[in-house]
Amino acid sequence: GEVEARVKAAYEKLQEVNKDINAVVTFVDPSEQLEELKKIDEHAPMYGLPIVLKDNVNTKGIRTTASSRILDNYIPVYDAHIVDKLKQAGAVVIAKTSMDELGMGGTNKNAYTGSVHNPWNPARISGGSSGGSAAAVASGAVSFAIGTDTGDSIRKPAAFNGVVGVKPTYGRISRYGIIPYASSLDHVGYFTTSVKDACVALEVLAGRDDRDMTSSLREVEAYHANVTSDLHGKRIALLENVQEEVRPEIKENMDQLVKKLEERGAIVDTVRMNDQLMEALLPVYYIIANAEATANHSNLDGIRFGMREDGESVEDVMIHSRTKGFSSYVRKRFVIGSYSLYAENQEKVFRKAQKIRRLIVNELAAVLEQYDAVLASASGDIAPLSEASHDASLHTSSIVAENYMVLGNFSGYPSISVPSGFVEGMPIGVNLTTKAFDEQTMFNIALAIE
Ligand code: GLN
Angstrom distances, CA of residue 295 to CA of 88, 104, 282, 328, 339:
34, 14, 20, 18, 12
3-class SS of residue 281: helix
- The rounded mean pLDDT for the chain is 96
> Can you tell me the distance from the alpha carbon of 427 to that of 376, in angstroms, rounded to the nearest whole number?
16
Burial class of residue 339, CB neighbours in 10 A (0-12, 13-18, 19+): middle
No. of H helices and E strands in the chain?
Answer: 17, 13
Q: Report which ligand 1 atom has the smallest distance to the Cα of 289.
A: 10
Whether 114 shows a pLDDT value over 80: the answer reads: yes
Closest-CA residue to 306 (of 342, 330, 336, 335): 330
Assign domain 1-450 to its CATH architecture: Alpha-Beta Complex (3.90)
pLDDT value at residue 117:
98
152 Cβ inside 6 Å of ligand 1: yes
Confidence of residue 304 (pLDDT cuts 50, 70, 90): confident
Q: Is the pLDDT of residue 391 over 70?
A: no
Give residue 393's pLDDT band: very low, low, confident or very high (50, 70, 90): low
Please calculate the CA angle 146-151-156 and round it to the nearest 5 degrees.
65
Alpha carbon distance 8, 20 (integer Å): 20
In whole angstroms, give the CA distance from residue 224 to residue 200.
6
Q: Is the CB of 181 under 6 A from ligand 1?
A: yes
d(CA 273, CA 280): 12
Q: Which helix (H) or strand (E) holds 370?
A: helix 352-370
**pLDDT at residue 383 is higher than 70:** yes
Span from the CA of 103 to the centroid of ligand 1 (angstroms) = 6
CA of 393 to the centre of ligand 1 (A): 8
Which of the two residues, 317 and 76, has the higher pLDDT score? 76
H-state helical runs in 22-99:
31-36, 81-88
Distance 19 CA to ligand 1 centre (A): 26
Cβ of residue 289 lying under 6 Å from some atom of ligand 1 = yes
From the CB of 153, is ligand 1 less than 6 Å away? yes
Q: Name the band, by pLDDT with cuts 50, 70 and 90, for residue 303.
A: confident
For the CA of 104, the closest atom of ligand 1 is 4
ipTM confidence: 0.94
Q: From the CA of 89, how far away is ligand 1's center (Å)?
A: 29
151 pocket-lining for ligand 1 (C-beta < 6 Å)? yes
Please tell me if the CB atom of residue 286 comes closer than 6 angstroms to any atom of ligand 1: no
How many Å apart are CA 309 and CA 268, to the nearest integer? 58
Report the distance separating Cα 166 and Cα 207, nearest Å.
16
Q: pTM score, two decimals?
A: 0.97
pLDDT band with cut points at 50, 70 and 90 for residue 193: very high
Angle subtended at Cα 170 by Cα 360 and Cα 276, rounded to the nearest 5 degrees: 10
Burial 275-306 (b: 16+ CB within 10 A, else e): eebbebbbebbbbbbbbbbbbbbeebbbeebb
pLDDT > 90 in the chain, percent: 92
User: What is the residue with the minimal CA distance to atom 10 of ligand 1?
Assistant: 104
Give me the phi and psi of 38, to 5 degrees please.
Answer: -60, -20
Probe target for ligand 1 pocket from 56, 100, 186, with the most ligand atoms within 8 Å of CB: 100
260-280 pLDDT, tens digit per residue, is 999 999 999 999 999 999 999
What pLDDT is stored for residue 5 in this prediction? 97
- The domain ranges of the chain are 1-450
Amino acid at 209: D
pLDDT at 394 over 70: no
For residue 80, the CA-to-ligand 1 centroid distance in Å is 21
What is the whole-number distance in angstroms between the Cα of residue 259 and the centre of ligand 1? 32
Q: Which atom of ligand 1 is nearest to 181's Cα?
A: 9
> Using CA atoms, how far apart are residues 128 and 393, in angstroms rounded to an integer?
9
Contact call for residues 251 and 240 (beta carbons, < 8 A): no
Q: How many CB atoms lie within 10 A of CB 264?
A: 18
Q: What is the per-residue pLDDT across 213-228, written as a single tens digit (0 to 9) for each?
A: 999 999 999 999 999 9
What is the set of active-site residues?
54, 129, 153
- The answer, yes or no, to whether any atom of ligand 1 lies below 6 A from the CB of 150, is yes
| CA 31-34-36 angle, 5° bins | 115
Average of pLDDT values for 13-36? 98
Task: Give residue 307's pLDDT.
Answer: 84
Element at 235 (helix H, strand E): strand 235-239
Backbone angles phi, psi at 366, to 5 degrees: -65, -40
